[in-house]
Amino acid sequence: MKTPHGLRGKTGVLILVMVVFGPLGDVLLGKGMKPIGAITSWSPTAFAHLFTRAFSSALIWCGIGSLLLFLLAHLLVLSWADYSFVQPASATSYLVVALLGVLWLGEAVTAMRWTGVLTICLGVVLVGGTPPRTTAQG
């Protein structure tokens, strides 16, 4: 099946939004929750205090915003592209997670983890070489 250039282009743009904003949202939530500390009490008062502190953090709001963008892109791309195309292609987020970990959080990434990321990228290249849509619309 021949894929229109525009279809491949907008699919690529939305998958790019997913692989950037999904991991970014996770990292922002992680960074926002760290200063709040571990949950030590499960009482309603402690939870109310936790929520108040969490939702007064700009990082948490940026994280929520990023994840909402991710969700919107995910829903929109599925309105035309195959699930069997979108799901593996969005695994490129593992590369973004590794890069964010190294460059922003200063984490060490092991050789095995880089091998995994490279294997995922090879898989994504293979999937990306197939048409994004193989079913009729409607």
Q: Which of 3, 41, 56, 134 binds another protein (CB under 8 A)?
A: 134
- Decide whether 61 or 80 has the Cβ nearer to another protein: 80
| Beta carbon of residue 18, minimum distance to another protein (angstroms, whole number) | 13
Q: Locate tokens 């994004």: which residue? A: 132
Angle, CA 115 vertex, CA 110 and CA 116 arms, to 5°: 95
Helix, strand, or coil here: 135?
coil
Helices of type H across 1-138: 5-33, 44-54, 58-77, 83-89, 93-103, 111-128
Site size for another protein (CB under 8 A)? 43
Q: Which residues between 7 and 66 bind another protein (CB under 8 A)?
A: none
Residues that bind another protein (CB under 8 A): 1, 72, 75-76, 78-80, 82-88, 91, 94, 98, 109-130, 134-135, 137-138
